Structure 1
């Protein structure tokens, strides 16, 4: 667990590893990211990753177990980086800013994060993992804390929090089920979602 302005937020940390295991993990993740950039996520397989990284296939299988596990690990690493920005980065996303501004910045940052990791998130969705990231838990906690600090006097604050979290995370699932949009379309989608989130938060906090 970690704290943001005194409030608990779930922030998973990697388990302690031997030095050689940590080096292998870093090598495999860096290689996987390079392969995604060069040939696309669909062409990353366990065997190809082992070959490109110069390690035995057994090392890859022990580390990730399945192909989806490669992308889960990549997504979790990116998630930790995003959470650190929320916990200790500069405002308005990080601590110290106006709660409404922080809530707007969080939603817009979250949308950008999920779109930037679109291909990885889709590939991470295996049979036993219908939702690839644990971000919604952080989202709900963070939204509730900021709503309280903004003085939102809803009778059922938990219900409002859940609805706002769904408005933020829900549309992204549509992107995970469709091919990557072209760059121009991606930017238009990002701007539309970010502006929609800002309007929603502003109307909730300043009715």
Structure 2
């Protein structure tokens, strides 16, 4: 497979599920999204989700295990959709554009994604169960691949990819590290971060060829 079209983070072949189990999962995730949109993440509990979805509590517990598991499933589902856009969506986010343009587009898409999901990511946190590792790994591997394709003339591209990943994913980590639940990002945060990301990538790619 062409490396440009290779999955950024291979999730592996999903375990086969019964059709009714798949339907229940999709119904529960959609119901959880509706509850978050209407009342906020704080109102989403195992019992409330079961009642709203019209399913037994046992079904919800078997599917998610804990309340945090609901939000982890939401985050993983949206991360998968995001990765599909990176893998096979239209350029410049998807394949078909120059590596530098794809790096810029990735940051400009990833930043609003992270800011939109910071409440869900915070609710998904549980002791011993990291919630954003897959997304961070996806970003690091994708950045490293594109740096190589751009023929950036710098030593230790792995280290550079790691630092660029921190620059891109770091704001979400700062929100999640707050002692109290983080307030929604201030208006303008996304565009400012996106512009800074573009300026950073332009300097790294253009000045180091």
TM over 0.5: yes
* 1:179 alignment counterpart: 182
* 1:10 alignment counterpart: 9
Q: What does 1:8-47 correspond to in 2, within 5 Å?
A: 9-12=8-11, 14-47=14-47
Q: What does 1:17-166 correspond to in 2, within 5 Å?
A: 17-166=17-166
- C-alpha separation between the residues in 2 aligned to 1:38 and 1:133? 28
Give TM-score, length-normalised by structure 1: 0.92
Shift, 1:6, TM fit: 5.0
- C-alpha separation between the residues in 1 aligned to 2:77 and 2:158? 29
Q: For residues 60-104 of structure 1, give each alpha carbon's deviation from its aligned partner in whole angstroms, at most 9, with x where no partner exists.
A: 101100000000000101001000000001111000001101001
- C-alpha separation between the residues in 2 aligned to 1:98 and 1:22? 38
Shift, 1:130, TM fit: 3.6
Stretch moving more, 48-57 or 173-182: 173-182
- C-alpha separation between the residues in 1 aligned to 2:184 and 2:26? 29
Shift, 1:14, TM fit: 4.1
Give TM-score, length-normalised by structure 2: 0.91
| Aligned residues: CA RMSD | 1.7
Shift, 1:3, TM fit: 6.5
- Is contact 1:100–1:146 with CA below 8 Å preserved after alignment? yes
Gaps (5+ residues) in structure 2?
A: none
Aligned positions, number: 203
